Amino acid sequence: MNNLSDFYLLVKNFSESHHMINEFLLLGSMKDLDSREFNYRSLVMIPSSSNISRDSNRPVYTLTFDCVLLDRCSDGTSLSTVLSTEENLFVIGQLQDFLIQQDENCYFNDVDVESYTAENDNINGAIFELTMTFARKSYKLGIDNA
């Protein structure tokens, strides 16, 4: 695969078919998280930065996503938080394995684990960066400035 549309559909299909993910969202910014209602366990991806390169005669572009996996802890006990954290890390590992099995050129950064209190809910989150590399055409294209 060498384009963002195919990658989006791949992750969307993974999320929709995974029994531990209830919702997949692609948002425009982290600010969009504040105004959302979630169907926990939710996988959220937000495009955050990109790089375009022709280094070593290898034309590629990379796109980094800020990703958040959110889960509701049912009773707010330490044990439910530990179990939710373990499940979140399991799902993220499966996403990484799935993308590698699809021959995707991807890199997962550190996973930060945090808990939040929202009204009557205890929310457990796993936050990580996912960087994808996509191929570009090997020749220099004409400039579209007519």
H helices present in the chain, as ranges? 4-17, 31-34, 78-101
Question: Cα separation of 52 and 58, whole Å?
Answer: 11
What DSSP element (H or E) covers 26? strand 23-26
pLDDT at 2 over 80: no
pLDDT at 125 over 90: yes
β pairing state of 60-73 and 42-53 = antiparallel
Q: What is the pLDDT of residue 21?
A: 97
**Contact predicate 34/98, CB 8 Å:** no
Per-residue CA distances from 59 to 18, 33, 144 (Å): 33, 34, 19
Position 39, amino acid? N
What pLDDT digit, counting tens, does each position of 7-57 carry? 999 999 999 999 999 999 999 988 888 888 888 999 999 999 998 887 766
Q: What is the pLDDT of residue 133?
A: 87
Residue 138: band (very low, low, confident or very high) from pLDDT cuts 50, 70, 90: low
What pLDDT digit, counting tens, does each position of 80-100 carry? 888 999 999 999 999 999 999
Weakest mean pLDDT among 32-36, 74-78, 86-90, 122-126: 74-78
Kindly list the domain boundaries of the chain, sorted by start residue: 4-135
> Does the domain at residues 4-135 carry the CATH identifier 3.30.70.1700?
yes
